[in-house]
């Protein structure tokens, strides 16, 4: 591990191919993830800051799930034999607010598609091209009998790493309002009760803390509270769609959304 003092001149640069960037008080944190949701590169831009520089050093090759748990103990382990680090930490004191970690948490939330926690944005669907849920829905409202290729061409979603394709296929299964089936004739409350009862029997329900969040038309949003990667979320969404469609109505479309309380 690079000496703590020597880090001050490192990692202070713009990362032009970053997946996510977050700015606060003149400092911007950049993160780039690989296909396995590991941090392939981390840099910051702003006034020289040894804590930002050392955070970027710590994050290299770190899995997304571990990055969300980073705290000062990670610094202590990495530079346990570095006296300059301990001197700087003594200066740091017991701060309740530590800007580098606040930036990191915000960057991870945004990467997970939770930018709506920080800005008035709909959830992110395609990370590669920044396509949001509202972009897809707005296009589907203006077109009928759309193929995946046409949707991708119009919105660019699914033209990068393609990890969002399973979710796009689910959106394409949603019929237009004039073709809604019998689920539209029952009160929403009745459907939610039925779906809740079925959800209890779903394999991942307890561990993921699954709960029906809303139902609009034939679209049912189900919240979850579990530290899952995007790939895990997509896999469980596919299983959930099959299970609940069979238990309720095949015309309903089910989507997972990470709980805002996490």
Highest mean pLDDT among 12-21, 37-46, 186-195: 37-46
The answer to whether the beta carbons of residues 155 and 133 sit under 8 Å apart is no
Report the run of H or E that residue 27 belongs to, with start and end: strand 27-33
Taking only the tens place, the pLDDT of each residue in 22-53 is 888 889 999 999 888 899 999 999 999 999 99
**What's the pLDDT tens digit per position in 139-155?**
887 776 788 888 888 88
Strands (E), 111-252: 124-126, 131-132, 211-216, 219-224
- The highest-confidence range among 34-38, 81-85, 180-184, by mean pLDDT, is 81-85
- For the stretch 90-104, pLDDT in tens is 887 766 567 888 889
Mean pLDDT to the nearest integer, 97-121: 73
pLDDT reading at 239 higher than 90: no
pLDDT at 237 over 90: no
The per-residue pLDDT for 262 is: 44
Q: What is the pLDDT of residue 128?
A: 74
Task: Tell me: pLDDT of 120 over 50.
Answer: no
Confidence of residue 124 (pLDDT cuts 50, 70, 90): low
Q: Which of 114, 198, 127 is nearest to 159 (CA)?
A: 127
Residue 53 to residue 41: CA distance in whole angstroms:
12
pLDDT higher for 228 or 116?
228
Is pLDDT of 179 > 50?
A: no
pLDDT band at 244 (very low <50, low <70, confident <90, very high): confident
Q: What's the average model confidence in pLDDT over 218-235?
A: 82
Rounded Cα distance between 250 and 218, Å, is: 10
pTM attached to this predicted model: 0.48
The mean-pLDDT minimum among 72-76, 101-105, 108-112, 215-219 falls in: 215-219
Please say if the pLDDT value at position 79 is more than 90: yes
Cα 259 from Cα 238, distance rounded (Å): 18
Does residue 186 surpass a pLDDT of 70?
Answer: no
Beta 124-126 vs 211-216: how paired, if at all? unpaired
> Radius of gyration of the chain from Cα atoms?
22
């Amino acid at each position: 591990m690079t000496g703590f003092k020597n880090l001050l001149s490192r990692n202070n640069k713009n990362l032009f191919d970053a997946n996510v960037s977050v700015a606060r008080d003149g400092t911007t944190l950049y993160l780039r993830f690989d296909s396995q949701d590991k941090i392939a590169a981390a840099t910051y831009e702003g006034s020289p800051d040894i804590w930002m520089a050392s955070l970027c050093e710590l994050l290299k090759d770190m899995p997304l799930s571990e990055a969300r748990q980073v705290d000062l103990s990670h610094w202590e382990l990495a530079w346990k034999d570095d006296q300059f680090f301990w001197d700087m930490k003594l200066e740091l004191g017991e701060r309740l607010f530590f800007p580098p970690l606040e930036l990191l948490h915000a960057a991870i939330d945004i990467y997970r598609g939770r930018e709506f926690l920080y800005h008035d944005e709909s959830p992110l669907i395609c990370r590669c091209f920044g396509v949001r849920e509202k972009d897809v829905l707005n296009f589907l409202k203006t077109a009928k009998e759309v193929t995946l290729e046409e949707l991708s061409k119009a919105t660019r979603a699914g033209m990068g790493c393609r990890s969002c394709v399973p979710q796009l296929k689910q959106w394409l299964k949603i019929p237009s309002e004039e073709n809604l089936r019998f689920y539209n004739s029952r009160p929403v409350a009745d459907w939610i009760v039925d779906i809740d009862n079925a959800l209890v029997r779903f394999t991942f329900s307890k561990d993921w803390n699954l709960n029906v969040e809303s139902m609009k038309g034939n679209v049912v949003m189900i919240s979850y509270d579990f530290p899952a990667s995007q790939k895990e979320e997509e896999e469980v969404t596919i299983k959930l769609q099959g299970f609940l469609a069979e238990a309720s109505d095949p015309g309903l479309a089910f989507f997972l959304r990470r709980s805002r309380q996490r």
